[in-house]
């Protein structure tokens, strides 16, 4: 499944959804679970979804490390754009 342009194994998507749900990001978890259940290949993530994922992946497992890195870089880019 593709999240933020990164291929993420489906098992890792389920783990991410669980982390999100446990941290109170139930809407973002639902987006992932619905996409997983529907067999979606790509999932569109809002800025709020991306920020929630960054927060729950402060120490990401290997399968989610690249996703975390990409989201952090994007977030820093957005932050710099708003400061300019």
Of 57, 55, 58, 34, residue with least CA distance to 44: 34
Q: Where are the beta strands (DSSP E) in 4-59?
A: 6-7, 42-43
Quote the pLDDT of residue 75.
Answer: 84
* pLDDT of 1 higher than 70: yes
pTM: 0.89
In a 3-state reduction of DSSP, which class is residue 59?
coil
Residue reference for tokens 């529907």: 38
Given a cut of 90, whether residue 12 has pLDDT beyond it is yes
End-to-end CA distance of the chain: 34
Tokens standing for residue 13: 């998507």
């Amino acid at each position: 499944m593709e999240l933020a342009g990164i291929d993420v194994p489906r098992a890792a998507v389920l783990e991410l959804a669980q982390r999100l749900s446990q941290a109170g990001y139930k809407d973002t978890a639902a987006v992932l679970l619905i996409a997983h259940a529907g067999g979606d290949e790509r999932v569109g993530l809002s800025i709020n979804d991306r920020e929630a994922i960054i927060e729950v992946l402060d120490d990401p497992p290997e399968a989610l490390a690249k996703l975390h890195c990409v989201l952090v870089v994007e977030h820093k880019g957005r932050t710099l754009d708003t400061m300019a």
